[in-house]
Amino acid sequence: MSVQQLVPLILLFPLIGGIINGIFGKKLPKALVGSLATLASTLSFATALMVFFQLNEPVKIHLFRMIDLEDLRLSASLLADNLSLWMVLIITGIGSLIHLFSMGYMKHDAGYSKFFTYLNLFIFAMLILVLGSNYFMLFFGWEGVGICSYFLIGFHYSDAEKGMLNGIAARKAFIMNRIGDLGLLIGLFLILSQFGTLEYQELANIVTVDKILGTPWMMFGITMCLFIGATGKSAQIPLFTWLPDAMAGPTPVSALIHAATMVTAGIFLVVRSNFFFEHAPMTQEIMLYIGLATSLVAAFIAMRQNDIKKVLAYSTVSQLGLLFVALGMGAYTAAIFHVTTHAFFKALLFLGSGSVIHAMSDEQDIRKMGGLRKKIPLTHLTFLIGTLAITGFPLLSGFFSKDEIVGHAFSHNVVIYGILMFSILLTAIYMFRMYFVVFFGTFRGTHEQEHHVHEGPASMTLPLVILAILSVFGGLLNLPGIWLKGQAHWLSHHLEHNTGGLNLIEAEHADNGITLMLMIIAVAVCLGALVVCYLVYGKKQNVPVEDAELSGWQKISANKLYIDEIYNFLFVRPTEWLSVVGHKFIEIMFLNGIILGFAKGIGASGELVKKWQTGRVNWYILWMVGGIVGLIVYYLVKI
Amino acid sequence: MVALIVIFISGLLSLFLAFAKKPWLVLLTASAGLIAGGISLFTQFYYQYDFIHYEGLKFDGFAVAFGLIAILFTLLVVLTGYSSFKDKPQHTGDYIALLLFSLTGALCMLSFTDMFMFFLGLEILSIPIYVMAGSNKDDVRSSEASLKYFMTGAFATGVLLFGIAWIYGGTASFKLDEITAFIYNAEGTHSSLIYIGLLMILSAFLFKVGAAPFHFWSPDVYDGSPHIVTGFMAAVVKLGAFGAFMKIFSVTFAGLHDFWAPALSVLAILTMFVGNLSALKQIRFKRLLAYSSITHVGYALLTIIVQSPDSAFNLWAYIFSYGFSTIGLITVAIIIHDEEDRIEAFRGLVRRNPFTGFVAILGLLSLAGVPPLMGFFGKFLVFSEAITQYPWLVAIAIINSGIGIFYYLRMVILVLQKEDDDKPKTPRHKVPVLQMIVLAICALALLFGGNMLIF
Amino acid sequence: MSSAQDYLPLVIQGVVALGFVVSVLIVTHLLGPRVHSKKKDSNFECGIESEGNARFPVSVRYFLTAILFVLFDVEVIFFYPYAVNFKALELEGLLAVILFVAFFLIGFLYVLKKGALEWEK
Residue of A nearest to B188 (CA): A639
Mean per-residue pLDDT, A386-405: 88
Mean per-residue pLDDT, A401-421: 88
Q: Is B238 on the interface with A (CB under 8 A)?
A: no
Mean per-residue pLDDT, A57-77: 82
Q: What is the pLDDT of residue C50?
A: 64
CA–CA distance, B128 with B96 (Å, rounded to integer): 10
Q: What is the pLDDT of residue A501?
A: 53
Contact B259 A638 (CB under 8 A): yes
- Element spanning B23, H or E: helix B23-47
The ipTM of this complex is 0.89
CB contact residues (below 8 A), chain B span 132-161, against chain C: 140
Answer yes or no: is pLDDT of B120 > 90.
Answer: yes
Nearest-CA neighbor of B217 among B129, B303, B332, B280?
B129
Angstroms from B165 CA to nearest CA on chain C = 14
Q: What is the pLDDT of residue B397?
A: 93
Contact B19 C113 (CB under 8 A): yes
> Which residue in the set B16, B19, B192 is minimally distant from C4, CB to CB?
B192
User: Where on the phi/psi map is residue A211: left (φ > 0), alpha (ψ -120 to 50), or beta?
Assistant: left
Looking at A558, A589, A604, the residue that finishes a domain is: A558
Answer yes or no: is pLDDT of A356 > 80.
Answer: yes
For residue B188, give every residue at least 6 positions away whose Cβ sits within 8 Å of its Cβ, in sequence order, or none: none
Which range scores top for mean pLDDT: A398-407, C31-40, C45-54?
Answer: A398-407
pLDDT bin (cut points 50, 70, 90) of residue A45 is: very high
Residue of A nearest to B210 (CA): A624
Answer yes or no: is pLDDT of A14 > 60.
Answer: yes
Any idea where the domains of chain C sit in the sequence? 61-114
Q: What is the pLDDT of residue A508?
A: 46
What are the E-state strand segments in B297-363? none
Q: What is the pLDDT of residue B421?
A: 75
Domain tally, chain B? 1
CA–CA distance, B366 with B376 (Å, rounded to integer): 6
Q: For A134, which DSSP code?
A: B
Looking at A501, A526, A558, the residue that finishes a domain is: A558
pLDDT tens across B278-298, in order? 888 888 999 999 999 999 999
Q: What is the pLDDT of residue A394?
A: 84
Q: Is B155 on the interface with A (CB under 8 A)?
A: yes
Mean per-residue pLDDT, C21-39: 83
Contact A631 B202 (CB under 8 A): yes
pLDDT tens across B211-265, in order? 988 999 999 999 999 999 999 999 999 999 999 999 999 888 988 888 899 999 9
CA–CA distance, A23 with A11 (Å, rounded to integer): 19
Q: Which residue has the higher pLDDT, A58 or B204?
A: B204
Mean per-residue pLDDT, B137-153: 90
Cite the DSSP H helix spans in B172-284: 176-186, 192-209, 217-224, 227-232, 238-246, 257-279
Is the CB of residue B303 less than 8 Å from the CB of residue B397?
no
Q: Is A626 on the interface with B (CB under 8 A)?
A: yes
Q: List all chains that touch chain C, counting a touch as 3 or more CB pairs closer than 8 Å.
A: B
Is the CB of residue A375 less than 8 Å from the CB of residue A359?
yes
Residue of B nearest to C55 (CA): B140
Q: List all chains that touch chain B, counting a touch as 3 or more CB pairs closer than 8 Å.
A: A, C
Q: Is B18 on the interface with A (CB under 8 A)?
A: no
Q: What is the pLDDT of residue B245?
A: 94
CA–CA distance, A22 with B247 (Å, rounded to integer): 53
Answer yes or no: is pLDDT of B6 > 90.
Answer: yes
Side chain identity at A158, as an amino acid letter? S
> Which residue in the set C4, C55, C109 is minimally distant from B191, CB to CB?
C4
Nearest-CA neighbor of A317 among A415, A409, A245, A404?
A245
Mean per-residue pLDDT, A362-371: 83
Residues of chain B with pLDDT > 90, as a percent, come to 62
Please indicate, yes or no, if residue A238 is contained in any of the structural domains.
no
pLDDT tens across B64-73, in order? 999 999 999 9
Buried residues in A139-159 as b, exposed as e (16+ CB within 10 A): bbbbbbbbebbbbbbbbbbee
pLDDT bin (cut points 50, 70, 90) of residue A389 is: very high
Q: Which residue has the higher pLDDT, A361 or B128?
A: B128
Answer yes or no: is pLDDT of A218 > 60.
Answer: yes
Q: What is the pLDDT of residue B316?
A: 93
pLDDT tens across A470-491, in order? 999 888 888 776 666 666 677 8
Please indicate, yes or no, if residue A241 is contained in any of the structural domains.
no
Question: Residue B245: CA atoms inside 13 Å, Cβ hemisphere, count?
Answer: 30
Residue C3 with chain B: CB contacts under 8 Å: 191
CA–CA distance, B377 with B40 (Å, rounded to integer): 29
CB contact residues (below 8 A), chain B span 7-46, against chain C: 12, 15-16, 19
pLDDT tens across B169-195, in order? 888 899 999 999 888 887 666 778 888
CB contact residues (below 8 A), chain C span 2-21, against chain B: 3-4
Residue of C nearest to B138 (CA): C57
Mean per-residue pLDDT, C42-71: 76
Residues of chain A with pLDDT > 90, as a percent, come to 31
Is the CB of residue B140 less than 8 Å from the CB of residue B182?
no
State the best of A23, A610, A616, A636 to mutate against chain B, taking most chain B CBs within 10 Å: A610
Answer yes or no: is pLDDT of A129 > 80.
Answer: yes
Q: Is B283 on the interface with A (CB under 8 A)?
A: no
Q: What is the pLDDT of residue B188?
A: 60
pLDDT bin (cut points 50, 70, 90) of residue A497 is: confident
Domain tally, chain A? 3
10 Å Cβ neighbour count for B436? 16
Domain residues for the domain of B245 are: 2-453
Angstroms from B147 CA to nearest CA on chain A = 9
pLDDT bin (cut points 50, 70, 90) of residue B10 is: very high
Please indicate, yes or no, if residue A528 is contained in any of the structural domains.
yes
Same-domain status, A549 and A466:
yes
Domain residues for the domain of A632 are: 564-638
State the best of B15, B101, B162 to mutate against chain C, taking most chain C CBs within 10 Å: B15
**Lowest mean per-residue pLDDT among B114-118, B286-290, B369-373:** B369-373
**Three-state secondary structure call for residue B283:** coil
Contact A619 B216 (CB under 8 A): yes
> Which residue in the set A620, A627, A631 is minimally distant from B217, CB to CB?
A620
Looking at A270, A298, A332, the residue that finishes a domain is: A270
Nearest-CA neighbor of A559 among A235, A301, A244?
A301
**Three-state secondary structure call for residue A68:** strand
Residue A624 with chain B: CB contacts under 8 Å: 152, 155-156, 159, 203, 207, 213-214, 216
Q: What is the pLDDT of residue A507?
A: 46
Q: What is the pLDDT of residue B255?
A: 85
Q: Backbone phi, then psi, for C37, in 5-degree steps?
A: -150, 165
Residues of chain A with pLDDT > 70, as a percent, come to 97
Mean per-residue pLDDT, A329-334: 86
pLDDT tens across B339-366, in order? 888 888 888 888 888 899 999 999 999 9
10 Å Cβ neighbour count for B45? 18
Pairs of CB atoms within 8 A across B/C: 11
For residue B165, give every residue at least 6 positions away whose Cβ sits within 8 Å of its Cβ, in sequence order, or none: B197
pLDDT tens across A204-214, in order? 888 888 777 77
Maximum Cα–Cα distance across chain B: 73
Same-domain status, A262 and A286:
no
Contact B140 C3 (CB under 8 A): no
Question: Residue A206: CA atoms inside 13 Å, Cβ hemisphere, count?
Answer: 17
State the best of C2, C95, C110 to mutate against chain B, taking most chain B CBs within 10 Å: C110
Is the CB of residue A62 less than 8 Å from the CB of residue A137?
no
- Mean pLDDT of chain A, nearest integer: 86
CB contact residues (below 8 A), chain B span 167-196, against chain C: 191-193
Contact B203 A624 (CB under 8 A): yes
**C touches B (3+ CB pairs < 8 Å)?**
yes
